[in-house]
Amino acid sequence: MIFSKYLLPLGALLTTALSQTVPQNVDNSTYPPIFPLNKDTEFAFVLEEMLALSNGGGANTGEVLRAATRIIPGSFESFYSAFFFFAEKIHSQAVSALKGGFKVSARDAFFRSSTYYRAADFFLHGNITDPRIYSLWDSALADFDSALSLMDIPGVRFNITSGHGFTVPVIFYKAKDCNEKTPTVLACSGYDGSQEEMYHQIGTKILERGWNFVSYEGPGQPTVRRQQNIGFRPDWWDVVTPVVDWLATRGDVDMDRLALEGISFGGTLAPRAASREHRFAAVLSVDGLDSLFDVLYAAFGPQIAGLFDSGNKTAFDVVMKSLQTNSSLPAQTRWIIDQGEFAFNTTSAFEWWTGLKTINLTKDIIEPINVPIFIGKGQDDASTDDQPELMRKLAESVGKTPTYHFFETDLGAGEHCQLGAESQLAMVTMDWLDGVFKNVTGKNKAGEIGQHHWRRM
């Protein structure tokens, strides 16, 4: 998943929140871009994301729409219950189908139950001691692995030791059942998204084009955060370079036609990695951010921003905790704090903001990137606001000429990361990348391989 497009001006809610007055969600729009499935904007967005996964086999529309009827606006527990019900039911169907020898039915059901286990977990991160955060994830991974094993060309997990105190989980999806060198796209999600859902969002479209798809997660992202207790870190090149070293050892990867893609916050992480890892033929940022910290700093308003700037950690944490635990506030306000602290492996909002501030894009990051850059922007994506445009201007300021594409709301592609319009996203990004690959002259070599270790799971 990817964080909500609805980053409302939270500062406007602060005074009423602290005085315990219930704020109201006001929608002045007369022409909504997408029909909302819940009165709570955050719930509506996540439900939209679940619905969109149907396009890549990660859900069924009827199942998601039925789950939506059981969700009470603002109630995290009702969201959990609605999707846990479906996760368990569809998991049982998958097991029965597999026992009966119906491998296609089992595979499809395992993919969907995995999605629903992840959805059930999504709003539980306010209490990091909640055992469901881990048990649900274990179930989601187990069912996804069952589905991987039933693919025509099974996807395979690997764990790659980075040499920097953490391991990078990777899933490799072969486009061809042979060792022919094949163009390959390496991709990661963002602030809250998993590599498993990336398969449904962009992976299926990449494989349809005859290219390998490789997903990965780094510190702060769902599996690494749970299994290794490591939060986000700015040196994303230390996440990606060990993966590239490993890809360079494979006979089925064309290292001259290797691209790096990031969606949402991953669209910030990918350029950071490419600033020091130069074996890519192209870098793609889809609804990425120049600085997520700047977005939140503005969204929370001058009172909270000023408190952070004062350096008073105790006071800042107290105020943020009062918002985080105020059940009368919209789900988005509470969740963004819950998820931020969880992803940075801290219980301090001050530490979350301090860490987030170090993960941005600057001239020093963009200037060393010496390959074509694609930047995508969804017209209705309020979470990134003008961030992709700022990224474009930053690239141009250091002499780059990135390809910039504006995805239109009227065509259903204006949502954050083109949710629900994955075919349009793939058409634009992969057709552009195809042109880049065709112009490669073989200059990009595997280079020296670092001291990393990998193992098949």
Q: Measure the CA–CA gap between 37 and 48, rounded to whole angstroms.
A: 7
The pLDDT of residue 217 is 99
What's the token pair of residue 355?
């860490």
407-431 in b/e form (b: 16+ CB < 10 A) is bebeebbbbbbbbbbbebbbebbbe
The pLDDT of residue 419 is 85
Q: Measure the CA–CA gap between 394 and 392, rounded to whole angstroms.
A: 5
- The series of mean pLDDT values per 10 residues for the chain, 457 residues long, is 52 46 42 80 94 97 98 97 99 99 99 99 96 99 99 98 96 96 97 97 98 99 98 98 98 98 96 98 94 95 98 98 95 96 98 98 97 92 79 94 93 84 94 97 50 44
The pLDDT of residue 416 is 85
Q: Which of 379, 439, 436, 359 has the alpha carbon at shortest distance from 403?
A: 436
Neighbour tally for 377: CB within 10 Å: 22
Residue 248: left if φ>0, alpha if ψ -120 to 50, beta else—which one?
A: alpha
Domain residue ranges of the chain, discontinuous segments joined by +:
153-291+360-457
What's the token pair of residue 318?
């107290």
Q: Measure the CA–CA gap between 182 and 253, rounded to whole angstroms.
A: 5
| pLDDT single digits (tens) 176-230 | 999 999 999 999 999 999 999 999 999 999 999 999 999 999 999 999 999 999 9
Name, in order, each residue with C-beta under 8 angstroms of 227's C-beta and a sequence gap of 6 or more.
none
Neighbour tally for 357: CB within 10 Å: 16
The pLDDT of residue 43 is 95
Q: Which of 311, 305, 415 has the alpha carbon at shortest distance from 2?
A: 415
The pLDDT of residue 7 is 54
C-alpha distance across the termini of the chain, in Å: 24
The pLDDT of residue 27 is 43
Residue 78: left if φ>0, alpha if ψ -120 to 50, beta else—which one?
A: alpha
- Measured between alpha carbons, how far is residue 1 from residues 187, 280, 300, 442, 444 in Å? 14, 25, 22, 35, 32
Report the CATH architecture of 153-291+360-457.
3-Layer(aba) Sandwich (3.40)
DSSP β-bridge partners for residue 453 = 161
The pLDDT of residue 386 is 85
The pLDDT of residue 454 is 46
